């Protein structure tokens, strides 16, 4: 691996060239001054060739050459299907290469712990790509919740849905391999509830539903509704769906007022807030930014300055353990208690990084996850 301590730019390989990588990750390097797009990894040779020419890259590799990739870069951005995260993260860490991994971190808590252990043992940084931890609108919501302006925050609600495309990997893989709406969309709702309440869940209850006449849902659930109990008698509820009209919003209600973010979770639109306190409503729009460039800048800075990243691997693990509890509750039809985890740092306003939005790149041999996209 190149010696990153003597330079100010971190060389990355982007591993996996599906829609999210092409639409958001690859273009983000243009706005990330301390991060260099150096190599691409894919099993599709035509895609590699076309994107290599587009981004003027010579280092193009198939998955069987992953070991060669790791000898030429400082960090990898893993944009792979969820069940492959552990393998490719552990191999990178063993080679002394830092890992920025898409969410959800992995399929099981055991896999997450293996990734954390590999990073610790090899003294490399591991960060999970929670892009909203650097987004102005999201961070302002956290500050509003913490400030007391809403009073004692009591409950969180969220709806996140899309009409998933028939050929998408999110429904071709079972939940046991990280497919389904909870891993893909529910993780946003779980993460938001955790940082807005600034505490960790203690109990999870969930139910799922599936329209039997829709062949998209032969391997995964169509939708899941979840209730999560937090300390201080706070509740978070959300529904995520692969079979409903597009929506992505949350509401946080306290004893004095409420805050709604709608849209809340996207990277291709602005974030909009509506806050009502004492009968008076104020609206605020946060313009679309390049959220992926922000996380690249932050992670590279952590590598260059030897800082521990937030969101860490442990942050990713805490969401995955909730996801596992959701599926256990669906299976057993009972509430699932969660052990109390160790405390950890939550995102705050000091993490805001603004980078200008980019246009929509042409996508090569990859399809958007949603029918409507």
| Coil/strand/helix, residue 327 | helix
Active site residue 188: yes
Residue from 188, 250, 265, 267 carrying the catalytic annotation = 188
- Tell me the CA distances in angstroms from 221 to 108, 166, 241, 243, one per residue in order: 18, 14, 8, 10
Q: Are strands 126-128 and 153-163 parallel, antiparallel or unpaired?
A: unpaired
Residue from 47, 103, 125, 346 carrying the catalytic annotation = 103
**Where do we find the tokens 């353990």?**
321
What are the residue ranges of helices labelled H in the chain? 19-20, 26-28, 45-54, 66-70, 85-94, 109-121, 136-147, 169-172, 181, 187-197, 291-305, 313-332
Neighbours of 108 (CB within 10 A): 18
- Tell me the CA distances in angstroms from 34 to 40, 224, 286, 293, 295, one per residue in order: 18, 40, 25, 10, 11
Query: Tokens representing 310?
Result: 């937030």
- Decide: residue 356, CB within 10 A, 0-12 exposed, 13-18 middle, 19+ buried: exposed
**Where do we find the tokens 């659930």?**
221
Distance CA 74, CA 1 (A): 6
Which residues have a catalytic role annotated? 103, 188
């Amino acid at each position: 691996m190149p010696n990153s301590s003597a330079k100010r730019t971190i060389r990355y390989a982007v591993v996996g060239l599906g829609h999210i990588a092409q639409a958001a990750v690859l273009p983000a390097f243009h706005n990330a001054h301390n991060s260099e797009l150096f190599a691409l990894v894919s099993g599709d040779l035509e895609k590699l060739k076309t994107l290599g020419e587009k981004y003027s890259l010579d280092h193009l590799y198939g998955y069987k050459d992953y070991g060669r990739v790791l000898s030429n870069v400082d960090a990898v951005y893993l944009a792979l299907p969820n069940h492959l995260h552990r393998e490719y993260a552990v191999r990178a860490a063993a080679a002394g290469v830092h890992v920025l991994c898409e969410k959800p971190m992995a399929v099981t808590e055991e896999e997450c712990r293996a990734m954390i252990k590999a990073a610790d043992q090899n003294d490399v940084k591991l960060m999970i790509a929670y892009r909203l931890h650097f987004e102005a609108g999201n961070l302002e919501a956290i500050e509003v919740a913490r400030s007391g302006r809403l009073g004692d925050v009591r409950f969180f609600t969220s709806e996140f849905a899309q009409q998933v495309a028939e050929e998408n990997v999110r429904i071709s893989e079972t939940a046991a391999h990280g497919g389904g709406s909870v891993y893909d969309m529910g993780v946003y709702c779980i993460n938001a509830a955790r940082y807005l309440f600034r505490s960790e869940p203690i109990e999870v209850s969930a139910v799922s539903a599936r329209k039997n006449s829709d062949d998209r849902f032969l391997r995964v659930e169509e939708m899941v509704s979840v209730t999560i109990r937090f300390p201080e008698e706070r509740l978070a509820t959300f529904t995520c769906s692969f079979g409903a009209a597009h929506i992505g919003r949350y509401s946080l209600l306290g004893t004095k007022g409420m805050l709604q973010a709608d849209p809340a979770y996207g990277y291709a639109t602005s974030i909009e807030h509506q806050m009502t306190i004492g009968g008076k409503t104020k609206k605020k729009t946060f313009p679309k930014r390049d959220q992926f460039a922000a996380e690249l800048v932050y992670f590279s800075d952590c590598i260059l300055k030897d800082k521990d990243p937030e969101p860490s691997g442990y942050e990713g693990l805490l969401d995955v353990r909730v996801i596992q509890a959701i599926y256990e509750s669906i299976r057993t039809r009972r509430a699932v208690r969660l052990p109390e985890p160790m405390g950890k740092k939550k995102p705050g306003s000091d993490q805001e990084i603004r980078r200008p939005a980019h246009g929509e790149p042409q996508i090569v041999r990859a399809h958007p996850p949603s029918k409507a996209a």
